[in-house]
Amino acid sequence: MILFDVNIFMDVLEERTGVESSTRMINLVRERRLDGCISALTVPVLWFLAEKNLSETESKKVISEIIQDFSIIPLDARTLNKAFGSEIDDFEDAIQLYSAINGKCESVITRNKKDFRPNKGISILTPEEFLAKS
């Protein structure tokens, strides 16, 4: 299982640099060639960011479509407590990492590798690095 960080979806929503690779990664999940998951935190973060540029109706539609084929790892007290106690400076990134650990993921796909510390055998990769390995 591969955890997708919020920024991979933001690449697509905002057509940022790297949108092609991020879209390819999401499509691998849609095509059932890759088992992808997200933290439950990802949905409200995407909502908050999308609603800045889209209407409420459009935000709901876009976000539900973009995450439809992903498993969602629940956000629980254990994950939050581990994130609070983490050495990772960015709290949202700590939640993403501990969600990946709780979901028994093998990798986290992200744009900001520098904010993560590899942990418990989970590789931290950009979409480009993951695609080059595949």
Q: Is the pLDDT of residue 42 over 80?
A: yes
Domains of the chain with bracketed CATH: 2-133 (3.40.50.1010)
Distances (CA, A) of 58 to 40, 51, 66: 20, 8, 12
Cβ(3)–Cβ(105) below 8 Å? yes
Q: How confident is the model at residue 50 (pLDDT cuts 50, 70, 90)?
A: confident
Cβ(122)–Cβ(106) below 8 Å? yes
The pLDDT tens digits for 84-130 are 999 888 999 999 999 999 999 999 999 988 888 766 689 999 999 99
